[in-house]
Amino acid sequence: MQYSAKWAVMICIAVFLSVFYSGAAFAHASLIKSDPADSSVSDAAPKSVTLRFSEAVRPLVARLIHPGGHTEVLKDIGEKGDTIVFTLPDTLENGTHILSWRVTSSDGHPIGGGLVFSIGAPSTIAPSVEPQTDLAVRSGLWAARLVLMLGLVFGVGGTAFSILIAGQPVAREEWPVGGLLLAGLLATPLLIGFQGLDALGEPVRALLRWDAWSAGLFATGFGRAVVLGATALVLAYAARQTGRRIGIVLASLSLLNVGLAIASAGHAATASPTLLTRPALFLHAITATLWIGALLPLAILFKQQSFGAMLPLKRFSAAIPLIVGVLILSGLALAVVQLRTVTALWTTDYGQVLLAKLALVAALLLLAAFNRYRLTEPVLAGSKTAVRQLRRSILAEVVLGSLIIAALGLWRFTPPPRTLAAAPVASQEITANKDGLSAILSIHPPVTGAVFVEVRDIVLDGKPLEPLSVSIDLDKPSYGIGPFTRPARKTSAQRYRADGFVLPLDGFWVVRVTVLVSEFRSVTLTDVFDIAKATR
């Protein structure tokens, strides 16, 4: 193996391990008392909210969400050491109010929290909050993801085609494939940064702060997915630099990492039943990468019009029916799970993105069928006219494939119709793992409004664990709401429950479960619940 390939693999392994074995350190100011108390109900409207912390803090922002859904930023803020006082409006309505606050610790690190209080009686339905969007952050998030995905599909897919299907040494003329691998790697840190901004609800200028990068890497499963994607890019680069035998191994590992990256985070990856959706997403990602990724090397081969292009074309033509078959079946399974109804195709944002994708895929299939059944035989027979037509058609497929990848990035901002179903399931369940500790987390019901979170089957190093305590945070940092923290009470053996959460907004909510394993050790499990809108 060449030195560059060895270094690439070593760096890849080091980064991979650092992400999966790193732990976050949290040691900042904490809220010790509030007035009114969290989840309290009073007959009269309070004049202010007082928060008392364990050390001196400075206020950053406070948003009050009214029972009707109107969000108001509180301007009248008093601060005195460890105490913050938010003056409330004089015209508070009856019902449930949600206060979301952020302050800065003495070490400069921002922390946030949420407080729920009701006047008269709790609202029967949680307020519906208008999303707060930052177009620059969302555009950066979409663009960085697009470049990374182009690197994965065309870079890894092109490498896999050349080494695994064509069975030929990587030609020097295939530099665009290597260039896309490099572009994908360059986009990786940017994507991590924008994911952090999206998670914290911060503007682009917050890229200068470490907490934005830390959140992008560790706050949700998207950080793990990005690292897996970067690992795939490095492995593909190494495969292109080494001999055939090791190249086959590295290219295969690179392709597997693409499947793992796509299947490790996102709407479809967390959809129930995950025993169906995650394998389907894994197969969908790998087959799409093999199909679309093969197009660029094929176009380059036929640009040279050499006899060496014929064998790869024969092998690709033989393999493509199976690849497309698995791609379509896995895609259908995912669409059924996510859509639930046919009408969701045109009545939801998610469905409209899927319609656009299906139109592009249909055009791609038509071109592929034309290439295979009308042009392949004349090309193999030596027709130069057919070779020119085939190359132009393949380049058109490259454009269509790129548009499909661009459209898929929009799903990052649209909840799937299954989360908007009129009759949502009673609970949503996920399994979280960290540092040898695993537990099953569930939220009841997974819709906006009052919910409770349950933790059960806590296992440490393969053995059941009865922890000293369990506390649960629910947080929607991309909208500056939360975290809402509740201690969990033991309801039975291996089962803990935290009540009193009120979720005002659908979409992803980050859940953090802190398990006190012993007097000297705690482990925090982090994952994401996908919350649907409540129906009125």
Question: How does pLDDT run across 176-221, given as a tens digit for each residue?
Answer: 999 999 999 999 999 999 887 876 667 788 888 887 788 778 766 7
Query: Given this model, what pLDDT does residue 28 score?
Result: 58
Residue that is written with structure tokens 């093969």 in the block: 294
Q: How many residues does the chain have?
A: 536
Is the pLDDT at 146 greater than 90, yes or no? Answer: yes
Under DSSP, is residue 532 helix (H, G, I), strand (E, B) or coil?
strand
Lowest mean pLDDT among 23-27, 134-138, 421-425: 23-27
485 against 169, higher pLDDT: 485
Is the pLDDT at 74 greater than 70, yes or no? Answer: yes
Is the pLDDT at 437 greater than 60, yes or no? Answer: yes
Q: Tally Cβ neighbours within 10 Å of residue 181.
A: 26
The DSSP string of 8-43 is: HHHHHHHHHHHHHH---------EEEEESPTTEEES
Strands, E assignment, 54-201: 58-65, 71-73, 77-80, 83-87, 95-104, 110-119
Each residue of 489-529: pLDDT tens digit?
998 888 999 988 888 777 778 888 999 988 888 898 888 78
For the chain, the average pLDDT equals 82
Q: Tally Cβ neighbours within 10 Å of residue 323.
A: 18
Is the pLDDT at 278 greater than 80, yes or no? Answer: yes
Give CA torsion, residues 65, 71, 77, 81, to 10 deg.
50
pTM across the whole model: 0.64
d(CA 259, CA 309): 28
